[in-house]
Each structure stands twice: as structure tokens, then as C-alpha cells.
Amino acid sequence: MHSPKGAAFPSAAQAALLFVALFLCEFVVGAALRDANGWLGLNTMQIGVLSAVLGNGLIFAVVMHFQQLTYRELFHHAPSSVRATLMLVVPPVLLLVPALLLTLTSALQLLTLLVPPSAWEQSYFSRMADGSVAAVLAVCVMAPMLEEMLFRGIVLRGFLRRYPRWQAIFMSALLFGAAHMNIYQFVVGFVMGTVLAWLYERTRSLIPCIALHAAYNTTTLLLAERLDDITPSRLVWAVVVALVAAVCGVLVLRAMLLPRKAQGAAPRG
């Protein structure tokens, strides 16, 4: 893609319309699946997963066709190899997970005290963490893949060609948070979206973004019912370990990714 900066897709308005189209596709597909559920025999979570997969698939097919974008370019449009990214970038990225988990969990606990979730929101969060195969697939696999493809692979990719670097990063993070449509996931989405957008801007690869997103979601799901039972002494050790891991991860990522800025602008896709 070599279109002029001002014509890159999507703009902020186009991104908003893209999300509306995605929600409509998922709604229509979900309605069709519910109508056919007499012989499909799916539960609510399974219908949600299939709706997300099929709805996103339709949107991706249309956008990538008109943008003449291949999946190879979408996932890894970087000068480094996929193998190098997996071996050198992903490990320090994963070291950020404990600190992100502790920070965002603490922020959410404070937020729920200030703004208690509604009965519908409590039911929704419980379904997402019920441990079923559909829930695990949705949270740990499909969400990281599909959301990174859309928010970083398409939206942020276009934003970085239209807007200044940090404006593009924060705008994409705001959209990522807002797309979850509740204040609790907005907070998580904005923080995670900022980290993921910076990571994509530095690497031009979805591989470390998907790894971080999947690791965070999986860890959250595994520890969902255990964080309330943690003792003060274990919490102190958890904080120490998380800080040490985060510092190591940040230092390694800084050494690997920031020097690229001195070598010239990051490749634009």
C-alpha cells in the first residue's frame, strides 16, 4: 500500500463506521444462528463466538480485498523475520503481563467500588469466565487474534499513515476501549490498547501483539477467582516479581526497538 498519507484507510471517521459495520454483521449473523439453533444446538457463548468469527471474516474479506492487502502483510510487515520476532521480541513482551495484570486488576477493583457493575454486566463477565470451551476459545484465542487484526492490523496501520505517531496510538487505544462498550473494559482496553499500539508501531508485526493480548487474557481467566484469596505476603511477592519482570522486559524491548528510530522512520504499510 503506497497511497498518500492523507488518503490512507481508515481515517477516524472511517474506523468508527468500520466498527458499526462489524457490529451489524455480528448482529445479523448471531440472529441467523439463533433462528437456526433448533438443529444447531448451540449455547449462547457458542453463538457469540461463531458470530464474532463470521462477522469479522466478512469485514476482513471486504477491507483486505479493496485495500489489496495480503494476510502476510497484515500479520508481519516488518524487516525482521517472523522467527526473529518470535524468539527475540515475544519473550520480553510476555514479561510485561504480570505488571499489567496487577495494575489493571487494582484499577478495576477501585472502579467497581466507585461505579458498581449492573446485573447485566455481572452476568456478562461471569459468562466470559465460566471456564467453558466456548468461553476459553473466545477470550484466549479469538479475541486476541481478531481484535489485533482489526485494531492494530487495519485501524492503527492506517492511522499511522494519516496522523502523528502518538496521536495515532492514543486514538486507536480510545477506539479499542470504546468498542468494548462498558466502562470497565474501556479502562483495560485503553491501557492495553496503548501498549499494544506502541508495540505494533515499533515492530510492524501483529505477532508480539497477539502474544501479549492472549497471555494477558489467559492469565486473567486463570486467576479470575483466585486473586481475592491471595494473602498479603503473597501479594507483596507478586508485586516484587511483577516489577522485576516488567523492568527486565522494558529494558530489553527498549534496547531492541527504540534504536530503530535513529536508523530512520519505521516502515509504513
What is the residue-level pLDDT of the chain in tens, covering all 269 positions?
A: 344 444 688 998 999 899 899 889 888 988 888 887 777 677 777 788 788 888 888 888 888 888 888 888 899 988 889 999 999 999 999 999 999 999 999 899 899 999 998 888 888 787 777 777 877 888 889 889 999 999 999 999 999 999 999 999 999 999 999 988 889 999 999 999 999 999 999 999 999 999 999 999 999 888 866 666 666 777 788 889 999 999 999 999 999 987 644 444 444 44
> Are the C-beta atoms of 137 and 113 separated by less than 8 Å?
no
pLDDT at 2: 40
Domain membership flag for residue 83 = yes
What CA–CA distance (Å, rounded) separates 61 from 35?
Answer: 25
Cα 127 to the center of its chain, rounded Å: 19
**Helix, coil or strand: residue 201:** helix
Domain membership flag for residue 98 = yes
Say which residues have a Cβ less than 8 Å from residue 268's Cβ, sequence separation at least 6: 160, 161
- For residue 244, count other CB atoms closer than 10 A to its CB: 13
What CA–CA distance (Å, rounded) separates 178 from 251?
Answer: 31
Could you list the residue range(s) of the whole structural domain that residue 138 is in? Answer: 5-262
> Are the C-beta atoms of 6 and 162 separated by less than 8 Å?
yes
**Helix, coil or strand: residue 230:** coil
Domain membership flag for residue 268 = no
The beta strands (E) that lie in the chain are given as none
Give yes or no for a cis peptide into 164 (omega within 30° of 0).
no
- For residue 25, count other CB atoms closer than 10 A to its CB: 19
The overall pTM is greater than 0.85: yes
**Long-range contacts of 245-250, Cβ-Cβ distance < 8 Å, separation of 24 or more:** 245/95, 245/96, 245/98, 245/99, 246/95, 246/96, 246/98, 246/99, 246/100, 248/92, 248/95, 249/92, 249/93, 249/94, 249/95, 249/96, 250/92, 250/96
pLDDT at 6: 47
> Are the C-beta atoms of 34 and 47 separated by less than 8 Å?
yes
Say which residues have a Cβ less than 8 Å from residue 66's Cβ, sequence separation at least 6: none
Report which DSSP code applies to 130. S
- For residue 1, count other CB atoms closer than 10 A to its CB: 14
pLDDT at 132: 75
Say which residues have a Cβ less than 8 Å from residue 53's Cβ, sequence separation at least 6: 142, 146
In total, how many domains does the chain have?
A: 1
pLDDT at 226: 66
> Are the C-beta atoms of 161 and 268 separated by less than 8 Å?
yes
User: Three cell numbers at 216?
Assistant: 494477558
Domain membership flag for residue 269 = no
